Structure 1
């Protein structure tokens, strides 16, 4: 399955271009609003702060002109008010971009049957994701979520960031795209393939994995990059030495930045693709939207990810089923 198979036909592309034209008209209007709203909102606040500070000078000690305690509180309040007013000023642009995503993303991915787009909600499949594939985390956030079915391939794709700890001491456990899908053949248990970590991280991951056992694929290079754990060694070993190993080798060639992770949990399969950027990111409101530059690469990336997930979901299938 090639990514090109997922590219939309000319009719869909024409519809996308038409929606881009509508968006561009709204974008130009929003840009004009932002251009006057930001300086006007912040300018009025500055005038207010200066005026109140001047009034404070009337009652302040001569040695504390502009820097008395009330002045300091005024400046601090003005700073936070400026932040609030700035976000209020750019709100038309923010609203436009999100409404455009709500409208355009289902059209972009029109090759997906029953396509559904959501934003900033917990994906339905997330609770079934084996925690051993990511490790311990206590905070989670989600951005864009696209779900649907391509032929006989139901899936849910979402952007996720998982973090452990709080404040400055927190660390990112995973940030990227997670694809959940229905496997062709259910796996009788849990099987995870994660990047091999250092001894300390591996020790804590082993504790978190509980009774799961580590096993080897028999390929020195693959075992050097990946750590395989399962609660059903007998069922997992043929996969780790066979189709899963082949899929991971292909993933290594396709996803070079950070090794992809794979998890099987019964009939649920998960493909985790680490990446720092926003997968469905649109350019800033000041940048004209272009199909070739901004939309086509997004569709190609989606096609590549679905093609990869389609390969992984065959891991436990027989030759006849695959």
Structure 2
């Protein structure tokens, strides 16, 4: 039996990470000391504590509420990006939520400016490239999601290159949010949407029908419908797959049950990301290592997954070419 591949040297790219969800417990505890806040309800030691998706959202929002200034967000972005650059990530996209900025009392300019400063600091120290995707929060309703889309369409910062929707997937119908995606698409933004994680293949089908995304966040429940898997493959829609997150949220019981490899073998374009890494005891490096261990992928196969991510990235042609050049 061959030894599992050590994936440390593999170049990596991450398309699906919520920046507030990337804050480590140690960083959040430092922020709590700064603001004299109590985080014992959702952090124990160096671990986030929650038992279901609803409690996870409470922990997520509790941590996010401790990033309140431009400097706080610069620190968050720089810390996350330098951590994954140390795992050989060369590119990342972060989901950014204006609704969380407003809740923290930040203007959009301060929010995006702080994140951009952290991105610039991480690029200077490690070379990693990063772009921002504005997301509307589904369970806040169609009006809020449309407002996020209009903000994204106004291009408030040059590093904002995409629009998506996150939040509680079981809230409302995808069709309710179609106008928001039309606004973003008309502005030339890349389009992605969370679907097929906590809800089944019908959620994926609705996303394809009403949103026409180039990428799907998760999408893994499509495996329950053979014809839908074929449609995703035929349309070339890229899945932002987060196995560690899926296991933590009990979407699948274990890695051997996870459909990543089956989707890949069916011709679906799949990528690896960490979603909300410290909440799920993961990182982009761990996701690549799990894939290598579970399905025996070799270095060229893992590099091909990175290539898929970079080809699907919401970046300009020159940046894409520069990133692809790092894989050769």
For normalisation by structure 1, the TM-score amounts to 0.28
Between structure 1 and structure 2, the one with the greater Rg is 1
More strand by share: 1
